Amino acid sequence: MTGGAGYIGAHTVRALHAIGRPVIVLDSLELGSAAAVLDLPLVVGDISDEALVEQICRDHEVDTIVHFAAYKNVGESMKLPAKYFHNNVDGTVHLLDAAVRAGVRHVVFSSSCSVYGTPASVPVDESQPIHPESVYAETKAIVERVLHWYGVVHGLESVSLRYFNAAGASFDSAIGEDWTYALNLIPVAIRALLTGDQELQVFGDDYPTPDGTCIRDYIHVDDLAQAHIAAIDYLAAGGDSTAVNVGTGLGSSVFDVLRGIERLAGRPVPHHVVDRRLGDPVSTFSDPARSFAVLGWQPKYGLDEILSTAYRWHVAQLEGPAGPG
């Protein structure tokens, strides 16, 4: 598992470990934490180090790579495109070349709903055109195509999971999304509420939605972890390469999220409304039919569990010693 010390990777490591699947993590730790990997095998290194990747795959007889490692900051990708193309695209090509040489047969790839750009209609299904609107999204779309061609040329089968908005934390509050790095609405809103150090900015409340704010599909990180297991099993059973959405099919507005956090905390989230942000789709949420049909996976949790686990985890972080995230 590349990037297994990061937010979604750490939850997936735990989920695999819980069902007795052997996992080895490769992470540079640039944006992840060794503690998040529990006491499972962790190699600190870079996905572009082909010799290292090949050696790990041979030594551990790796048959499937779950590939999380990437940079994910959309705004930064528009300022530093080379950084994103090097790590997310070149890094993946090096990883795949080494993996193919070592006999790896399957890849589960962290793609993103951002490959659709502003969807022509919602819910978004997988037949909608790919239309990235940022360098970050473009790197995901390119890697999907790289995987297609590695399938044609090398017989490497893959599932690209197009995540919607990953959120929430583990139910035991052991791991979650560290707000030091996270720019996503939920950690930023909880930070504004718990620390009071920075008001939340709401980017526009005059959109053509019921409450005027943007709508997104939030998916609990433990549900996401289960989607990876379903994808691994699908490939192991001989499934063909494919791309599937991983979302709930339900849209929540920015104000839905704020109201949910306020109910948990019993006080308001300090926020103010600013101008719309360029490139923000008004509304995007998934059509989850294909993930169920192909992978047999469907989410168990909704916004309530996402907000309550995230809130509990952040409170625990403030109260106790810094934990993994």
Ligand X SMILES: NC(=O)c1ccc[n+]([C@@H]2O[C@H](COP(=O)([O-])OP(=O)(O)OC[C@H]3O[C@@H](n4cnc5c(N)ncnc54)[C@H](O)[C@@H]3O)[C@@H](O)[C@H]2O)c1
Whose structure tokens read 């053509």?
208
Tell whether residue 38 is a contact of ligand X (CB under 6 A): no
Residue nearer to ligand X on the CB measure, 69 or 232: 69
Q: Closer to ligand X at the Cβ: 116 or 234?
A: 116
Closer to ligand X by CB, 160 or 212: give it.
Answer: 160
264 lies in the site for ligand X, by CB under 6 A: no
Q: Is 283 in the site for ligand X (CB under 6 A)?
A: no
Instruction: Give Cα 316 to chain centroid, integer Å.
Output: 23
Identify the CA nearest to 325 among candidates 121, 29, 23, 36.
36
Give me the catalytic one of 7, 84, 136, 311. Answer: 136
**Percentage helix, strand, coil for the chain under 3-state DSSP, each rounded to 5:** 45, 15, 40
∠ at Cα 153 (151, 156), nearest 5°?
30
Q: How far apart are CA 51 and CA 56, in angstroms?
A: 9
Nearer to ligand X, 26 or 141 (CB): 26
Say whether residue 29 binds ligand X (CB under 6 A).
Answer: yes
Check if the beta carbon of residue 245 is closer than 8 Å to that of residue 286: yes
Number of residues that bind ligand X (CB under 6 A): 28
| Rounded least distance, CB 115 to ligand X, Å | 10
Phi, psi of 186, rounded to the nearest 5 degrees: -65, -50
CB 158 within 8 A of CB 149: no
Residue 46 contacts ligand X per CB under 6 A: yes
Whole-number minimum distance, CB 70 to ligand X, in Å?
A: 3
Binding window for ligand X (CB under 6 A); candidates: 5-13, 58-66, 186-194, 195-203: 5-13
Does residue 291 bind ligand X (CB under 6 A)? no
Please give the residues from 232 up to 251 whose contact with ligand X meets the rule CB under 6 A.
none
Residue 200, classed as helix, strand or coil, is strand
- Which one of 15, 23, 25, 27 is in contact with ligand X (CB under 6 A)? 27
Q: How far is the CB of 29 from ligand X (least distance, A)?
A: 5
Q: Which is nearer to ligand X, 30 or 206 (CB)?
A: 30
Nearer to ligand X by C-beta: 31 or 56?
A: 31
Long-range contacts of 54-62 (CB under 8 A, 24+ apart): 54/98, 54/99, 54/101, 54/102, 56/24, 56/26, 57/98, 57/99, 57/102, 57/103, 57/104, 58/102, 58/103, 60/22, 60/24, 62/24, 62/99, 62/102, 62/104
CA of residue 91 relative to chain centroid, distance: 18
Tokens of 186: 């939920």
H or E, element range at 27: strand 25-27
Please state, in angstroms and as integers, the Cα–Cα distance from residue 143 to each residue in 19, 133, 249, 306, following that order: 29, 15, 25, 29
Residue 59 is a binding residue for ligand X (CB under 6 A): no
7 is catalytic: no
Query: Of these, 1, 37, 56, 72, which contacts ligand X (CB under 6 A)?
Result: 72
Of 104-133, binders to ligand X (CB under 6 A) are 110, 112
**Site track 156-195 with ligand X (rule: CB under 6 A), x = hit:** -------x-xx-----------------------------
Interacting residues with ligand X (CB under 6 A): 2-3, 5-9, 26-32, 46-48, 68-70, 72, 87, 91, 110, 112, 163, 165-166
**Catalytic residue positions, numbered:** 136
